[in-house]
Amino acid sequence: MPKTSLPVSPPRSRAAGSTRGVALLGPALVAGVAYVDPGNVASNMTAGAGYGYLLVWVVVMANVIAWLVQYLSAKLGVVTGRSLPELLGDRLQHRAARRAYWLQAELVAMATDIAEVIGGAVALQLLFGVPLVLGGLLTGAVSMVLLAVQGRRGARPFEFLVIGLLLLVTVGFLAGLLVAPPDPSAALGGLVPRFTGSGSVLLAASILGATIMPHAIYAHSALARDRFGSAPLRLGGDPEPRTRTPIARLLTVTRWDVTLAMVIAGAVNLGMLLLAARTLPGVSGTDSLEGAHAAISAQLGPLIGTLFAVGLLASGLASTAVGAYAGAEIMQGLLRVRIAMPVRRLVTLIPALVVLGLGVDPTFALVLSQVALSFGIPFALIPLVVLTAQRSTLGRHANRLWTTAAGVVAAALLIALNAVLLWLLLTGS
């Protein structure tokens, strides 16, 4: 009988492999929206207006730390096929402990939502004169639409929409640099770590606190799980990938995904600080979003001011959708409770609407929300570093020693700086 040769698949070209790699990008870009939310806008614009180029080094350092934290979160979702809240829900055996952990995480998610809804409401008022409460409702309504796309059409369409908003954020916040480029030598000088008084320390801690957000850690692990997470780890073995792409390849793509996201977020954050340092020093009223917008419009023209407001609106819309996604994941992972997303969205929208309805200064409310977020950082960061270091959790993909050491240093630094932030705010120093 003649031998029948089996068909041999043609080798994939390098171009085909690259195309496949590009198609796997996305989760980090969605999570990266948390790094350019209205809280970041307030911190960076205030820092640039008040201290010029002094705190450029803080923005750069925050982005380096953010890269490590977000990669660890994504790796957890890719390898285990579970989110951080799900894994913690399994490990917290006592119901009281699980509920206590959920409560702090839920409060963090709600504090995030307050900042993002307020940012969207302020942007709508700047662009169209919409009252703040109505603007908050509209921001919440748009976030419901984005979440409905994620629920009905899957992760990929949701990613495309959020990435589109991220592009608007990038254009809106960086356009001013084309009209008023920063002083290169002064910007490079800002890379030297130093402070000038307690006010600069407070702003440095605010920038770091606004950059590393607990909800972004929870969300990124879930986003990575939804796209290409593995089956749960078998005892004594390695995970079984749900996709045909090997886990090692997925982790390589994830590193590129996180790098791209952090480059974009870092450029936007740095651009905001440089723009404020170039155009706003000595200008009164720039300690609020409205004042910064007015000053930018006066200094650089109404077109740049409008683009800034559009960037703020896109920031609020995208980040509030991601924040609501994170909140739903927190509840489902820790309490095993799933609430219809529109209902949850309405409930978490109430605190922001109350703040707006009471007439609280929006920028002041943004600052307070960042303080609240600082309380949740240890509860997200420490378990993340511990879980990704365990072979029982990630198998052969567990952290190497230097990665765990870097994670411990980053967690300790962020916790210490947020403690400084709280101390300065409470003592009025």
Q: List the structure tokens of 226.
A: 């939804």
Segment 134-157 shows an average pLDDT of 87
Integer Cα distance of 184 and 172 in angstroms: 21
At 428 the pLDDT is 66
pLDDT > 60? residue 38: yes
Q: What is the signed CA dihedral for 385, 388, 392, 398, rounded to 10 degrees?
A: -130
pLDDT > 70? residue 305: yes
Integer Cα distance of 371 and 296 in angstroms: 27
At 237 the pLDDT is 43
**Class at the top of the CATH hierarchy for domain 27-427:** mainly alpha
CB burial of residue 145 (10 Å; 0-12, 13-18, 19+)? exposed
At 229 the pLDDT is 61
pLDDT band at 13 (very low <50, low <70, confident <90, very high): very low
- In sequence order, the 6+-apart residues with CB closer than 8 A to the CB of 367 are 42, 206
Q: List the structure tokens of 279.
A: 């155009």
Compute how many other C-beta atoms are within 10 angstroms of the C-beta atom of residue 119: 32
pLDDT tens track for 219-264: 999 999 988 765 454 433 445 445 567 888 999 999 999 999 999 9
pLDDT > 60? residue 5: no
pLDDT tens track for 199-222: 888 788 778 777 788 889 999 999
- Residue pair 89/334 in contact by the 8 Å Cβ criterion: yes
- Residue pair 60/13 in contact by the 8 Å Cβ criterion: no
3-state secondary structure the chain: CCCCCCCCCCCCCHHHHHHHHHHCCCHHHHHHHHHHCHHHHHHHHHHHHHHCCCCHHHHHHHHHHHHHHHHHHHHHHHHHCCCHHHHHHHHCCCHHHHHHHHHHHHHHHHHHHHHHHHHHHHHHHHHHCCCHHHHHHHHHHHHHHHHHHHHHHCHHHHHHHHHHHHHHHHHHHHHHHHHCCCCHHHHHHCCCCCCCHHHHHHHHHHHHHHHCCHHHHHHHHHHHHHHHCECCCCCCCCCCECCCCCHHHHHHHHHHHHHHHHHHHHHHHHHHHHHHHHHCCCCCCCCCHHHHHHHHHHHHCHHHHHHHHHHHHHHHHHHHHHHHHHHHHHHHHHHCCCCCHHHHHHHHHHHHHHHHHCCCCHHHHHHHHHHHHHHHHHHHHHHHHHHHHCHHHHHHHCCCHHHHHHHHHHHHHHHHHHHHHHHHHHHCC
Region of residue 283 (left: phi > 0; alpha: psi -120 to 50; beta: else): beta
- In sequence order, the 6+-apart residues with CB closer than 8 A to the CB of 322 are 30, 31, 33, 34, 162, 215, 216, 219
Integer Cα distance of 159 and 318 in angstroms: 10
At 403 the pLDDT is 93
pTM for the predicted model, two decimal places: 0.88
pLDDT tens track for 83-140: 999 999 999 989 999 999 999 998 888 888 888 899 999 999 999 999 999 999 999 9
